[in-house]
Amino acid sequence: MQFNSFAFLFGYLPIVLAGYFLLDRWHRASGGLAPGWHPLAPAAWLALASLFFYAWWDVRYLPLLLASICINYGAGRLIGAHAGAARKRVLVAALALNLGLLAYYKYANFFIDSVTAVAVATGADAARLPWHGLDIILPIGISFFTFTQIAFLVDCYRGEVREYRFIHYVLFVSYFPHLIAGPVLHHRDMMPQFADPANAHPRAANFAVGLSIFTIGLAKKVLIADNLSPLAIPVFAAGAQPTLIEAWIGVLAYTFQLYFDFSGYSDMAIGLSRLFGVKLPLNFNSPYKAANIADFWRRWHMTLSRFLRDYLYIPLGGSRRGEVMRCRNLMLTMLLGGLWHGAGWTFVIWGGLHGLYLVLQQAWQRLFGAAPGYCWLRWWPGVLTFLAVMLAWIFFRAPDVATAWDITGALVGANGVSLPRGLASHASSLAQWGWQPAFDGIRWIELAGPGLPVLLAAMLLAFKAPNTQEIFFLYEPAIERIFQPAGRWAFSWRPTSRWSVGLAALFVACIFGMNRVTEFLYFQF
pLDDT in the model for residue 376 = 46
Distance of alpha carbon 343 from alpha carbon 138, whole angstroms: 11
pLDDT band with cut points at 50, 70 and 90 for residue 384: very high
Vertex 86: Cα angle to 81 and 87 (nearest 5): 50
> Contact at 8 Å (CB) between 347 and 341?
yes
Contacts of 277 (CB under 8 A, 6+ apart): 193, 196, 198, 199, 200, 201, 203, 206
Backbone angles phi, psi at 27, to 5 degrees: -65, -45
pLDDT band with cut points at 50, 70 and 90 for residue 375: very low
pLDDT digits (tens, 9 = 90+) for 124-182: 766 667 767 777 888 888 888 898 999 999 989 988 887 788 999 999 999 999 888 77
pLDDT at 365 over 90: no
Closest CA to 146 of 348, 347, 340: 340
Distance of alpha carbon 69 from alpha carbon 157, whole angstroms: 17
Distance of alpha carbon 138 from alpha carbon 518, whole angstroms: 18
> Contact at 8 Å (CB) between 510 and 223?
yes
341 is catalytic: yes
Backbone angles phi, psi at 438, to 5 degrees: -80, 150
In percent, the amount of the chain with pLDDT more than 90 equals 48
Catalytic pick among 27, 186, 341, 354: 341
Burial class (CB within 10 angstroms; exposed 0-12, middle 13-18, buried 19+) of 482? middle
pLDDT in the model for residue 173 = 93
pLDDT in the model for residue 435 = 57
- The domain limits of the chain are 57-197, 206-286+400-524
CA distances from 507 to 198, 199, 211 (A): 29, 26, 10
Q: What is the mean pLDDT of residues 476-501?
A: 74
Closest CA to 212 of 456, 492, 442, 504: 504
